[in-house]
Amino acid sequence: MMKRFLILLLVIPASLFAQMPKVARDARTWRQQHERPILGEFTALLSVPNVTRDRTNVRHNAEMLVAMMQRRGIAARLVTIEGANPVVFGELVTPGAKRTIAFYAHYDGQPVDETEWATPPFVPTLRSDSLEHGGQIIPLPPPGTPLGAEARMYARGSGDDKSSIMAMLAAVDALRATGTKLHSNIKFAFDGEEEAGSPNLQAILAANRELFAADLWIICDGPVHQSRRPLIYFGARDVVKLDVTVYGARNELHSGHYGNWSPNPALMLARLLTSMKDEHDRVVVEHFYADIVPLSATERQAIADAPDIDAELMRELWLGATESSPKKLAELITEPSLNIRGMSSGHTGAQASNVVPSSATAAIDIRLVKGMDPRLTQDRVIEHIRRQGYFVVENAPDAEIRRTHPKVAWVERGHPGLGAVRTPMDLPIAQEVVKIVESVRGPAVKLPNMGGSLPLAEIEQPLGTHTIVVPIANHDDNQHTFNENLRIQNLWDGIEVMAALMSM
Ligand SMILES: [Zn+2]
């Protein structure tokens, strides 16, 4: 009995491997023989500081990437406009190919505070496991020695997003070494300003439409699902911001002498914000939801099929309740949100004094879904503020304005973006991507859009193409904060996914 059970355990992974497409199996075999050089190249790339605003070092990264691609026979060069970090472009032309697939990742990273890191952010450090699980520093293994399943590389950019670049370039090596025939032209675009919101990407692409043209852009950024299952996003939300300030008297007033008489802006602001949502957490700003492109049956089904992680998340995050219950997180991120980012009025704690504050400010962000116009949405919120009896100004109100209107609100608009995009899951090319990812990695979590933002509209608008997000990093990669890391197995898995996608 015991022996049979053991054999079963051994047989199951082997049969899964056998079910994988040949291209992914070949990539795995190739990778297993080349782990040391892959890790060596990855380490070298991570050693170059990449904070977006550190333009000199960002440039070094870009030049290094050009060299890495040229070594592989990929035609590569930097594409930029005045004042921007370059986009690293690369191309593999496949004779007779009828379509082109572009692969996007970014090589810049978030700022670092070295004092918070266990090891310096630009000294890539391999550990046997995550720091949380007592991972110890280990050397790069000698050639032919596999790493443990939980080994991780610690460095800024390891998870977000140089791992994606490394997976793509290693996939090219694997495809070459195994003589895999490609069917599409392959393009690469590595963004150097993603962590700053890709402010120049649209302009760079618009100025080089022909160069960047592709039937599909596969965006490799962000983590896979918390369950470690593969994840495919077909869009992203956009974000637009608004700051609202309401006023009491010209300056703070003694609360004993003037309370009950001088209007209290903190209370006014609380009432104004409360008026924006009903008791079921729905936004009641008029027409807020009016232009939303509804989810298709396929998209609804995909949300229903997503693993239910809400209870576990609540436990982890110390939450006794969630908004819009019983709707789940996977569904709620496909709806727009109106969020108070922060509020301030007067002081609290040791700084509190007995005053009626002079003003109160709320910082609001609105996450937009497909169909919503960013500027029109701001307009609608402003109209709602008017309907609550406020005289709305878009510059700091002077004495005259404040004297002549009972309620004054100063609204500062954040710069509106291009809006949210979402690629229909039913598109044949989208279905093809799903099929490939699932054939390599098993059933994927498929979500119509991610909750956050990526520069998808910046790509789709100038090029008239579609985008699909296929991330590879581990969900606990500490992206954007200290001790960022990549679980090496995610890189290995990512190589197989990228090789399969490149051969589509
Ligand atoms: Zn990223």
Given this model, what pLDDT does residue 144 score? 87
For the sheet with 216-219, list strands across it.
75-79, 87-92, 185-191, 100-106, 216-219, 466-469, 231-233, 445-447
Q: Please provide the size of the chain in residues.
A: 504
Q: 106 CA distance to ligand 1 centroid (A)? A: 7
Which residue, 392, 390, 393, 364, is CA-closest to 377? 364
Q: 307 CA distance to ligand 1 centroid (A)? A: 23
Given this model, what pLDDT does residue 13 score? 55
Q: 301 CA distance to ligand 1 centroid (A)? A: 27
Q: Does the predicted model carry a pTM greater than 0.85?
A: yes
User: What is the Cα–Cα distance from 80 to 56, expressed in whole angstroms?
Assistant: 14
User: What is the Cα–Cα distance from 84 to 272, expressed in whole angstroms?
Assistant: 40
pLDDT digits (tens, 9 = 90+) for 406-446: 999 999 999 999 999 999 999 999 999 999 999 999 999 99
Cα 448 to chain centroid distance, Å, stands at 14
Q: 164 CA distance to ligand 1 centroid (A)? A: 9
Given this model, what pLDDT does residue 4 score? 36
Q: What is the mean pLDDT of the chain?
A: 95
Q: Which residues pair with 76 in a beta bridge?
A: 90
Q: 471 CA distance to ligand 1 centroid (A)? A: 9
pLDDT at 2 over 70: no
Given this model, what pLDDT does residue 17 score? 85
pLDDT digits (tens, 9 = 90+) for 457-470: 999 999 999 999 99
pLDDT digits (tens, 9 = 90+) for 21-49: 999 999 999 999 999 999 999 999 999 99
Given this model, what pLDDT does residue 5 score? 34
Q: 186 CA distance to ligand 1 centroid (A)? A: 21
Name the one residue in this structure whose structure tokens are 């870009």.
62
Residue, of 55 and 6, whose pLDDT is higher? 55
Q: 480 CA distance to ligand 1 centroid (A)? A: 8
Which SS3 state, helix, strand or coil, does residue 287 take? coil
Q: 222 CA distance to ligand 1 centroid (A)? A: 5
pLDDT at 11 over 90: no
Given this model, what pLDDT does residue 15 score? 59
Provide mean pLDDT across the span 47-69. Answer: 98
Q: 490 CA distance to ligand 1 centroid (A)? A: 15
Using DSSP, how many helices (H) and how many strands (E) does the chain show?
Answer: 17, 20
Q: What percent of the chain has pLDDT over 70?
A: 97
- State the number of CA atoms in the 13 A half-sphere of 16 facing the CB: 11
Q: 397 CA distance to ligand 1 centroid (A)? A: 39
pLDDT at 288 over 70: yes
Beta strand 391-393 with 408-413 is parallel
Q: 473 CA distance to ligand 1 centroid (A)? A: 10
Query: Interhelix angle for 22-33 vs 2-19, to 10°?
Result: 110
Q: 102 CA distance to ligand 1 centroid (A)? A: 17
Name the one residue in this structure whose structure tokens are 């302009």.
203
Q: 105 CA distance to ligand 1 centroid (A)? A: 8
Q: 451 CA distance to ligand 1 centroid (A)? A: 14
pLDDT at 390 over 70: yes
E strand or H helix that includes residue 35:
helix 35-46
Q: 184 CA distance to ligand 1 centroid (A)? A: 26
- Angle, alpha carbons 437-441-442 (nearest 5°): 95
The backbone torsions φ and ψ at residue 433, rounded to the nearest 5 degrees and listed phi first, read: -60, -45
User: What is the Cα–Cα distance from 441 to 493, expressed in whole angstroms?
Assistant: 8
Q: 65 CA distance to ligand 1 centroid (A)? A: 17
For the sheet with 152-154, list strands across it.
125-127, 152-154, 485-487
Least confident of 6-20, 239-253, 350-364: 6-20
**pLDDT tier, 188 (very low <50, low <70, confident <90, very high otherwise):** very high
Cα 60 to chain centroid distance, Å, stands at 24
User: What is the Cα–Cα distance from 302 to 328, expressed in whole angstroms?
Assistant: 13
